[in-house]
Chains A and B, each alone.
Chain A
Amino acid sequence: MAAQRGIVIGGGAFAGLALALALRQGLGPDLPIIVADPALANRPSRDPRATAIVAACRRLFDALGVWDAVAAESQPILDMVVTDSKLEDATRPTFLTFGGHVEPGEPFAHMVENRRLIDELVIRAEAAGVDLRATAVTTFDSRADGVSVALGDGSVIEAALLVAADGARSKLRERAGIATHGWDYDQSGIVVTVGHERDHDGRAEEHFLPAGPFAILPLTGKRSSLVWTEKRAEAARIVALPDDEFHAELEQRFGLHLGEVKALDKPRAFPLGYFVARSFIGERLALIGDAAHVIHPIAGQGLNMGLKDVAALAETIVDAARLGMDFGQIDVLERYQRWRRFDTMTMGVATNVLNVLFSNDLPFVRSIRDIGLGIVDRLPPLKGAFIKQAAGLSGEVPRLLKGEAL
């Protein structure tokens, strides 16, 4: 029997499952690791989105042993262009191009379909002996010396630590009384997979259209995933349009540079917001992923930030457990909070600035951002720093993000 009590993770999507795997690897087979999520009952996953996995997070999946299985179906982003234009402009001037390598031979990001990755994480977690329960965390009671976690199936688990990985509307965060700071953008991201005639050659495009960013992210085959920002009401209208009218809206924004384009699935709108939890930790509690922070998908960093939480929290817990420390104690958790909260605030502020600059059609604002992008494009060191930052390789990097095992 392990001398330490176990860890309960509430929420079994990307953040929760990746953490469970990382902890299992670092802590060995004896310490109980429980993941509770009612969504674990619906397999395979039906998530329609695709996510850009930056280099650091790909290394994490590699270290967790899940990358090989999804690699074949992932599309490396080899090149990225950023343009700024009005809808009616015939040609879109390019302000920024990134050759997409952090290290020779390592693209700075890969596009992966969410459901592929989730399904693989579940399979791996099961094989690694993570205790998966298809039920919710209903409530918990934390004390200085431990936490009692109540599950929807009526069971109660005595644990050293509870991790809230239950997404943006986290009940566990609310129950702990942790407030958030942020706002609603009154924008939604329309997500749809499209097929096109010509090959995208691994190129990602971000067009700053007047309503907000319109991102074309390459998938395997002649397919791309779109994240298309509109005012919330407009987005609701667009996704409800009959197929032919939707097609017209799509074509107007997508253009014809990849030939004929058509939607391959039903478009869905996701409301966009921004917030950061006032604290990432509480008594016997740590928040990770969207439960701790949600940012605008303009920079495609939401999940990547969640995975950095995973890497930092796993390393914090494993290091403390290997010293025999009670890793649920507040002084241990503080290391995690110091590690992650500052980085998150910086990223949040940066994406807010981007969104304000780019969801705006005032000539004055346009000229500022165009000059700004032009400057970045002409200064290789600054561009290099941007790529490293975007790839998640700046700051004090947790071991898992360097691809090292814990």
Chain B
Amino acid sequence: MAMQSSYSDASASSVDASEVAKFSKLSEEWWDPRGKMAPLHKINPLRLTYIRDAACRKFDRNVRSLNCLSGLRMLDIGCGAGLLCEPFTRLGAQVIGIDPSATNIAAAKLHADKGHLSIDYRCTTVEEMDVRERFDIVLAMEVIEHVVDVGAFLDRCASMLKPGGLMVVSTLNRNWKSFALGIVAAEYVLRWLPRGTHQWDKFVTPDELAHHLSRNKLEITEQSGVVYNPLGDRWTLSSDMDVNYMVVAEEV
């Protein structure tokens, strides 16, 4: 069966049929725009646009081309089931998606196989990756608020950039407003996220982020807040960086 064989090259080995069924269900959940991951699907076009536009500017590509990222090597850290990896692969990038969760990686592989997309998914962390690997674009979207040592993590990410490469980071700011909206609202009131998803003291301010990046000779060349507009039920860019924000960093 197609699903069996596609699973057999997943990184986790010797799994039985019930395991495969579980991953398949997880993959469907991740990819159902109206399911549990609906909030992520809703914000995804904005993240895709931000990253694509930054990459096209940096590498002098035409944003209207369906092949605008062709040939660019891209690392997506904390890729989940591949919500960023798949679109960027379609746009021609050579994408490596890493995630410490073996189930996420299995779910991601299943889905990519179904869509005949060739994506290099690995169940690993940046720290464990070969130190010689280099990328044109490194993405750390909604991950730094989950790592133990932000400084060390960003040092490692920066070291994997090719000269002239581009890094995009998104995360949550640390102040009273992000506490209210990011944790109380998102996890407890609106139930967008499971409770306990975030620990507020791990949130990173734009200044702290800039500080870590500049130590690695990276400068923030663009930054933007990301806000939810309840009227249009959609996310938009904003100058308000108090809660969610994204930055683009390049070599100075």
Contacts and interface: CB of A to CB of B under 8 A. Distances in A.
Interface string A299-325: 000000000000000000000111111
A3 B66 contact: yes
Contacts of A26: 64
Of the candidates A2, A3, A27, A321, the one having the most CB atoms from chain B within 10 angstroms of its own CB is: A3
Interface in B21-46: 28, 31-34, 41-42, 44-45
Given A3-B92, A4-B90, A326 B115 contact: yes
Contacts of A126: none
Nearest to B32: A144
Nearest to B48: A323
Contacts of B28: 144
Contacts of B91: 3, 323-324
Given A2-B66, A331-B34, A324 B45 contact: no
B115 A324 contact: no
A320 B45 contact: yes
Nearest to B93: A324
B94 to A, nearest CB: 12
A27 B64 CA distance: 8
B90 A3 contact: yes
Interface in B80-97: 86-92
Contact of A145 (B44, B87, B89, B114): B114
B66 A323 contact: no
Interface string B64-104: 11111100000000000000001111111000000000000
A345 interface: no
The interface size bin for chain A is 20 to 34
A290 B32 CA distance: 30
Q: Is the interface of A mostly helix, strand, loop or mixed?
A: loop
Given A27-B66, A145-B114, A145-B115, A323 B33 contact: no
A161 to B, nearest CB: 14
A249 interface: no
Contacts of B32: 144
A372 interface: no
A322 B68 CA distance: 8
B34 A3 contact: no
B134 interface: no
Contacts of A4: 66, 90
A324 B34 contact: no
Nearest to A28: B66
Contacts of A2: 66
B27 to A, nearest CB: 11
Nearest to B84: A324
A322 B64 contact: yes
B126 interface: no
A330 interface: yes
Contact of B66 (A321, A326, A330, A331): A321
A325 B63 CA distance: 14
Nearest to A321: B66
A224 to B, nearest CB: 43
Contacts of B87: 323-325
Contacts of B67: 3
A324 B33 contact: no
B214 to A, nearest CB: 31
B70 to A, nearest CB: 10
Contact of A329 (B33, B42, B66): B33
Interface residues of B, number: 29
Of the candidates B92, B114, B115, the one having the most CB atoms from chain A within 10 angstroms of its own CB is: B115
A33 to B, nearest CB: 13
Contacts of B48: 323-325
Nearest to A27: B66
Nearest to A320: B45
Contacts of A31: 66
Given A3-B89, A145-B115, A330 B45 contact: no
B49 interface: yes
A3 B63 CA distance: 16
Contacts of B211: none
Given A3-B92, A325-B48, A331 B33 contact: yes
Nearest to A325: B87
B148 to A, nearest CB: 32
A324 B90 contact: yes
B52 interface: yes
Contacts of A321: 66
B52 A30 contact: no
Nearest to A4: B90
Given A28-B66, A330-B33, A330-B34, A324 B41 contact: no
A22 to B, nearest CB: 14
A322 B89 contact: no
A322 B69 CA distance: 11
A212 B209 CA distance: 70
Contacts of B52: 322-324
Contacts of A326: 86, 115
A335 to B, nearest CB: 9
B45 A30 contact: no
Contact of B65 (A28, A144, A330): A28
A324 B64 contact: no
Given A324-B48, A329-B33, 14 more contacts: A3-B66, A28-B66, A31-B66, A144-B31, A144-B32, A145-B114, A145-B115, A320-B45, A322-B52, A323-B48, A324-B86, A324-B91, A325-B45, A331-B42
Interface of A: 2-4, 26-28, 30-31, 144-145, 320-326, 329-331
17 contacts: A2-B66, A3-B67, A3-B89, A3-B92, A3-B117, A30-B66, A31-B66, A144-B28, A144-B31, A320-B45, A322-B52, A322-B63, A322-B64, A322-B68, A324-B48, A324-B66, A325-B48
